[in-house]
Amino acid sequence: MNILGISAFYHDSAAAVIQNGEVIAAAQEERFTRIKHDPAFPSNAVKFCLDYAGLTLDKIDAIVFYDKPLLKFERLLETYYGFSPKGLKSFLTSIPVWLKEKMFLKRMLHEELEKIGNYDKKKAKLLFPEHHLSHGASAFYPSPFEEAAVLTIDGVGEWATASICYGKGKDMTILKELRFPHSLGLLYSAVTYYCGFKVNSGEYKLMGLAPYGSHGSEQVARFVDIIKNKLVEIKEDGSVWLNQEYFSYATGLRMVYDDKWAEVLGFKRRESESLLEQIHCDFALAIQEVTEEVVIKMAREAKRLTGSKNLCLAGGVALNCVANGKLQKTNIFENVYIQPAAGDAGGALGAAQAAYHIYFGQERKVDTSKLDAMKGSYLGPEYSDLEVEQMSRKYNAAFERFDDFDALAAKTASLLAEGNVIGWFQGRMEFGPRALGGRSILGDARNPEMQKKLNLKIKYREGFRPFAPSVLAEDVQDYFECETPSPYMLLVHGVAEKRRTKFPASYENLPMMEKLYFLRSDLPSITHIDYSARIQTVHAETNPRYWTLINEFKKQTGYGVIVNTSFNVRGEPIVCTPEDAYKCLMRTEMDFLVVGNYIFDKNTQPQWTESEKWKEEYQLD
């Protein structure tokens, strides 16, 4: 049975194909169009998934869209009615779009699919599971658990903003829901907006900013008190009630009432790209602490309702890897599994899986000997040597070819140890927001200048942004306080005590950037200022090439850990093709590019004549 899953028309459009329950291919549309968070119908992603699976549309048994548009439209109408006369401008802006396009989503889907290939409307079922069911299915069905509690938390789907389900075998049952306009995800996005970052894009920046807050300070405590007493009421089961006097997202074109927030907080909304001050860091820390409290309360409620020892997480809030790490440390659940594409892109995969197991009633096969059924999340396109050489001829690019991968790994490891920044392009592209060694930029975690170099000269982004370590799975406890696999870079844990450098007594009073560049451990480029790190454990069974590279680096340096960041510049999606990768090499101060069996040395390439206007292609996130 062949099923195509689709998510589209909000942000992070994607497609996925499963065959007889097995995940075959999945990709986000942004990687093909080069438009970050592209919400358009994922034509390119659909074509790729079908091609990779060796299918045409007429071989598909079901096409599954990741939410119910009419239910979402109902929520829109009821919300405007409930808040009227507020929101008239927003109503007049959004309703024509709904009437013209989204009300007729079935027709739109048929039309878009017909552009791709022969498509028999009568043969393929067109299905619409609920948004949170798609999220939950994306986490439970690929997990290594026979049964589990399933917790999904995001901004909003149709009505639900968080849900607790119970999965067992092929079945999933919804036990409890939190409904719009009350939403932990929207609360976090509101603070993201107020701190000057882009909603549905900059939330991870807010998470990265939080550790710069003054832990235990009166100001952070004051902000926590304001959030919990003015903005949101938190119940024991993790339910939240947002005071709509302060929020305008339900009816307006902005997240919050700026003047009311400024009145209670004591500072105005930060303008995008303006200076980040300590007050922004403290506010970021406050909302992070509140978010962690709510997530843990929701998890306790999931435990109470299900009695399971296993938990699966999905939804945008499940990408908050700091909260994930704190949740794991509570030991509420023995085992925690997080869908690597936890946001809306993963909804395409979950929709397909929900259709297969719930609608068609197909049994689920669980291989408990594996980490999961996601194949390391390496589910996107891959490219042959011929395609790499075609790209090279197009740009007259110079390269060195290696027939022996061990030799290539040894050469790359020595270049890393010498302080070079390397674009690493191998195998299939990752599905989800994290670069996991398929499309990554790599550096030496021991190098105290590496974080600054990567942020300012390669990524062209804010200097405070942290980087993640990729570590050999078998060595993780040598470097980090992490006792479980973390293959998808979705858990934050502490750097091992033996590797830390103690803070000076005056540390908390230092300016933000002086805090940033204090050498906190023998792995300074991946140690955040609170001694934490966002860990990726690298496993030989899911990514043998990346594992071999890090193992070779260990042989040469004694360290089985390197810096890993996504292969892109700020505002650009992660690279997809060898050509994307070569352009990134030539546009930045990267030193080398390794694509498949080829190494490209920046110093030996022909002069790059492209103007700086390329930066205008990408909107700042």
- Distance between CA 381 and CA 487 in Å, rounded? 20
Q: CATH number for the 385-617 domain, one of 3.40.50.300, 1.10.760.10, 3.90.870.20, 3.30.70.120?
A: 3.90.870.20
| Vertex 288 angle, CA 282 and 290, to 5° | 105
| 222 vs 107, higher pLDDT | 222
Output the average pLDDT for the chain.
93
Return the domain boundaries, the chain: 385-617
Specify whether the CB–CB gap between 481 and 594 falls below 8 A. Answer: no
Q: What average pLDDT does range 334-354 have in this prediction?
A: 98
Q: Give yes or no for residue 84 having a pLDDT over 90.
A: no
Strand ordering across the sheet containing 468-472: 400-401, 598-601, 592-595, 422-425, 439-443, 561-566, 468-472, 532-538, 491-494
Under 8 Å CB-to-CB from 73, ≥6 apart: which residues? 98, 102, 103
Query: Does residue 369 surpass a pLDDT of 90?
Result: no
C-beta separation of 488 from 313 below 8 A:
no
Higher pLDDT: 366 or 93? It is: 366
How is residue 141 annotated by DSSP?
T
Across the strands, what pairs with 153?
162
H-run or E-run covering 14? strand 14-19
How many Å apart are CA 554 and CA 570, to the nearest integer?
A: 30
* Residue 87: pLDDT band with limits 50, 70, 90: low
Q: How confident is the model at residue 465 (pLDDT cuts 50, 70, 90)?
A: confident
Q: Which residue has the tokens 């939403």?
A: 183
Q: Give me the pLDDT at residue 98, please.
A: 65
Lowest-pLDDT range, 116-130, 408-422, 477-491?
Answer: 116-130
pLDDT tens-digit profile of 190-247? 999 999 999 988 999 999 999 999 888 999 999 999 999 999 999 999 999 999 999 9
Task: Please write the tens of the pLDDT for every residue from 14-47.
Answer: 999 999 999 999 999 999 999 999 999 999 999 9
Q: Note the pLDDT of residue 337.
A: 98
- H helix and E strand count, the chain: 20, 21
Decide if pLDDT at 88 tops 70: no
pLDDT at 105: 84
The DSSP symbol for 601 reads: E
Confidence (pLDDT) at 515? 72
Position 27 scores a pLDDT of: 98
Separation of CA 164 from chain center: 21
Residue type, 587: R
User: Does pLDDT of 419 surpass 80?
Assistant: yes
